[in-house]
């Protein structure tokens, strides 16, 4: 309740200070994104999905993902894309691919996180976003196949 009357700028400052205290800064975000997509590209199942779309043009995707994660983790406000329509276009992605994505993301964090608390900090956010992307792509599990 104590944050209720904060301005957006004050809120941003608190989030950024909290992130910095954990060791999250632009340099870490950059390393996280580079290392994660190195793993993704080498993965038997996820690698071809990304390579089909991105091909040899990884630099813009990596830059976009760095601004995305700095907005999510540090409230930097630098990302202004629309992940839902982008993912809804990916017709060859299966629901189980999200589990692979999340476990590669966790593996990356375990390898490079500057402090222990950084791992759940990113994983909670990634899992929440993954869930909303999954819902937008596949719908609510209970409502499928006439189960409700």
Tokens 């904060």 locate to 6
SS3 content of the chain, % helix, strand, coil (to 5): 70, 0, 30
Where on the chain is the footprint of ligand HEM (CB under 6 A)?
46, 49-50, 53, 61, 64, 68, 81-83, 86-87, 90, 93, 97-98, 101, 126, 129-130, 133
CB of 98 to ligand HEM, least distance (A): 5
With CA atoms as reference, report the closest residue to 104 among 47, 14, 36, 15: 36
CB of 135 to ligand HEM, least distance (A): 12
CB of 38 to ligand HEM, least distance (A): 15
User: In the complex with ligand HEM, which residue's Cβ is closer, 50 or 112?
Assistant: 50
Cβ atoms of 40 and 50 closer than 8 Å: yes
Cβ atoms of 11 and 75 closer than 8 Å: yes
Tokens 């992940």 locate to 83
User: In the complex with ligand HEM, which residue's Cβ is closer, 28 or 101?
Assistant: 101
For ligand HEM, the nearest residue by Cβ is 81
User: In the complex with ligand HEM, which residue's Cβ is closer, 22 or 68?
Assistant: 68
């Amino acid at each position: 309740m104590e944050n209720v009357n904060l301005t957006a700028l004050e809120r941003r400052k608190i989030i950024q200070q909290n992130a910095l205290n954990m060791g999250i800064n632009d340099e870490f975000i950059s390393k996280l994104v580079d290392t994660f997509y190195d793993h993704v590209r080498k993965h038997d199942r996820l690698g071809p999905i990304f390579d089909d779309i991105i091909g040899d043009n990884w630099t813009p995707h990596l830059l976009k993902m760095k601004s995305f994660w700095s907005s999510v983790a540090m409230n930097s406000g630098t990302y202004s894309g629309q992940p839902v329509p982008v993912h809804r276009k990916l017709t060859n992605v299966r629901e189980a691919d999200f589990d692979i994505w999340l476990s590669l993301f966790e593996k990356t964090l375990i390898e490079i996180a500057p402090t222990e608390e950084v791992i759940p900090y990113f994983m909670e956010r990634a899992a929440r976003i993954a869930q909303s992307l999954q819902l937008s792509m596949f719908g609510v599990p209970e409502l499928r196949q006439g189960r409700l």
